[in-house]
Chain A
Amino acid sequence: MSFISYLINGISLGSIYAIIALGYTMVYGIAKMLNFAHGDVIMIGAFVVLNMVTLAGVNPIIAVLISMAVCTLLGMAIEKIAYKPLRNASSPLAVLITAIGVSYFLQNLALIIFGADAKSFPNLITLPSISLADGKLVITGTTIATIITCVIILLGLTFFVNKTKQGRAMKAVSEDKGAAMLMGINVNATISLTFAIGSGLAAIAGFLLCSAYPSLTPYTGAMPGIKAFTAAVFGGIGSIPGAMIGGILLGVIEILGKAYISSQVADAIVFAVLIIVLLVKPTGLFGKNIQEKV
Chain B
Amino acid sequence: MKKKISNNMITYGMILLFYVIMQVMISTGSISSLLQGLLVPLCMYAIAAVSLNLVVGFSGELSLGQAGFMCVGAYASAFFTKLTEETLPEGPRFLIAILIGAVVAAIFGFLIGIPVLRLRGDYLAIVTLAFGEIIKNLVSVFHVGVDKSGIHFSVKDAASLNLDEEGRVLIDGPLGITGTPKNANFTIGIILLFLTVFIVLNLVNSRSGRAITAIRDNRIAAESIGLNVTKYKLMAFVISTALAGVAGVLYSHNLSTLNVKFFNYNTSILILVFVVLGGIGNVKGSIIAAILLTALPELLRELQDYRMLIYAILLIGMMLFNWAPSAIAFRERVKDKFKSNKKEAA
Contact flag (A, B; Cβ within 8 A): yes
Say whether A97 contacts B277, CB under 8 Å: yes
Write out the residue numbers on chain B whose beta carbons fall within 8 Å of the beta carbon of A283: 123
Say whether B276 contacts A91, CB under 8 Å: yes
A175 within 8 Å of B by Cβ? no
Say whether A264 contacts B126, CB under 8 Å: no
Kindly report which residue of chain A lies nearest to residue B220, judged by CB atoms. Answer: A294
B313 within 8 Å of A by Cβ? yes
Q: Which of B126, B134, B155 has the most CB of A within 10 A?
A: B126
| One of B69-77, B226-234, B235-243, B323-331 contacting the partner | B323-331
CB distance from B306 to the nearest CB of A (A): 7
- Please count the residue pairs between chain A and chain B whose beta carbons lie under 8 angstroms apart in the complex: 129
Write out the residue numbers on chain A whose beta carbons fall within 8 Å of the beta carbon of B165: none
Say whether A86 contacts B118, CB under 8 Å: no
Say whether B316 contacts A105, CB under 8 Å: yes
User: Once bound together, how far apart are the Cα atoms of A279 and B118, in whole Å?
Assistant: 8
Write out the residue numbers on chain B whose beta carbons fall within 8 Å of the beta carbon of A66: none
Chain B count of residues within 8 A CB distance of the other chain: 48
Interface majority SS on A: helix, strand, loop or mixed? helix
CB distance from A47 to the nearest CB of B (A): 16
Say whether A85 contacts B327, CB under 8 Å: yes
CB distance from B234 to the nearest CB of A (A): 16
User: Once bound together, how far apart are the Cα atoms of A108 and B313, in whole Å?
Assistant: 10
A26 within 8 Å of B by Cβ? no
Say whether A268 contacts B118, CB under 8 Å: no
B108 within 8 Å of A by Cβ? no
Q: Which residues of A contact B (CB under 8 A)?
A: 28, 34, 36, 82, 85-86, 88-91, 93-94, 96-98, 100-102, 104-105, 107-109, 111-112, 226, 229-230, 233, 237, 264-265, 267-268, 271-272, 274-275, 278-279, 282-284, 292, 294
Between A and B, 22 residue pairs with Cβ closer than 8 Å are: A86-B319, A86-B323, A91-B276, A94-B276, A97-B276, A97-B315, A98-B316, A100-B273, A104-B312, A104-B315, A105-B309, A105-B316, A264-B155, A265-B137, A268-B134, A275-B116, A279-B116, A279-B118, A282-B123, A292-B219, A292-B220, A294-B221
Known contacts A89-B323, A93-B280, A275-B130; 20 additional CB pairs below 8 A are A86-B319, A91-B323, A93-B62, A93-B272, A94-B322, A97-B277, A101-B313, A105-B309, A105-B316, A108-B312, A109-B309, A226-B265, A229-B126, A230-B130, A237-B122, A271-B130, A271-B131, A272-B134, A279-B119, A284-B123
